Amino acid sequence: MSVLLEMQGVRAGYGKATVLQDISFKIEAGQSLALLGRNGVGKTTLLETLMGNTQMWAGSIVFKGQPVDKLAPFQRARLGLGWVPQERGAFVSLTVEDNLRVVQRPGAWDLKRVYTLFPRLEERARNFGDQLSGGEQQMLAIARALMTNPDLLLLDEPMEGLAPVIVAELAQAIKQMASEGLPCIVVEQQPILTLSMTDKALVLEKGRVVLEQSSQVLADNPEQLGQYLGLRV
C-alpha cells in the first residue's frame, strides 16, 4: 500500500504555546484513523495543523507524496484535504442545495451521490441553512466537504450534541464513505463508536502519541482504553 499521509516529528501550536510535541505517524491509502485522548490533549490541534491553521515549528507533513507544511490552507484543500470543523459553518442565507453547489469541484462526489448518502438533505434542499436541525446541519457540513471531492476527510467531533438516532445515521455514512474509498481522520468523544468506523487508532497524551494500534485490537481491550482515556467503555 502507498502512504497517503505522513507526519514526522511535528511540533506545533498557537502563538508561543506549544501543543503538539514530536508527532509522527502515517496513514496508508484507503486507511481511516481514529484520533483519541482526553480533552485538551491536542486532537483538534492536530487536525488544525494538518489544515495549516496553526504555527508549526518543526517536522514535516507529506500528503499524497507532496510536502504540504509550507502550503496555505486553501492550497491543502485544493490538493485534497477535506475539513469538517466543529462549528459546521453552513451559509445560513443559502439553501441546502446552494450550500452544496457553491463549493462543488469536479469528481465522483456530486449532488446526486451526496443526496443518496444523506436523503434528509434532499428533502430539505430548498430550506435555508438556519432552518435545519443540529443533525441536519452536521450532515450538510459533511456533504459540503464531500462536494469538494477530497482524498482525505478530517472530521472534528461530528457527533457532538446529537441525538442517538442521528449519531447512528452519521456513523453509518462515515463507514460507507470509507468503504467507497474515502478515508477519514475522526476526532470523537465516543471511543468505541470511533473505533468501529476506522482501521487504525492514535492515542494522544499531553500533545504526544502514546499509542498507535489497530482500531479493532484497541476496541477489544477495554482495560487499555480505560487506562489511556480515563473512562469506562
Please report, for residues 79, 88, 126, 209, the alpha-carbon distance to residue 219 in angstroms, rounded to integers and kept in the order given.
33, 28, 41, 18
What are the backbone angles phi and psi of residue 180, rounded to the nearest 5°? Answer: -95, 10
Reported pTM = 0.93
Residue 232 clears pLDDT 70, i.e. is over it? no
Please count the structural domains in the chain: 1
Residue 102 lies in a domain: no
Cα dihedral angle (125, 78, 134, 39), rounded to 10 degrees? 170
Domain residues for the domain of 205 are 1-80+153-161+185-233
Residue 125 lies in a domain: no
CA distance 58 to 9: 7
Residue 212 lies in a domain: yes
Residue 131 lies in a domain: no
Residue 49 lies in a domain: yes
Residue among 62, 40, 58 nearest 50 (CA): 62
- Helix ranges (H only) for the chain are 43-51, 73-79, 96-101, 111-117, 119-123, 134-147, 164-179, 191-196, 215-219, 222-229
Give just the sign of the alpha carbon dihedral 225, 229, 183, 134.
Answer: positive
pLDDT in tens, 38-68: 888 999 999 999 999 999 999 999 999 999 9
Residue 1 clears pLDDT 70, i.e. is over it? no
Residue the block writes with cell 452519521: 170
CA distance 106 to 3: 24
CATH of the domain at 196: 3.40.50.300
pLDDT in tens, 143-163: 999 999 999 999 999 998 888
Give the model's pLDDT for residue 233: 47
Residue 124 lies in a domain: no
Calculate the CA 97 to chain-centre distance. 23
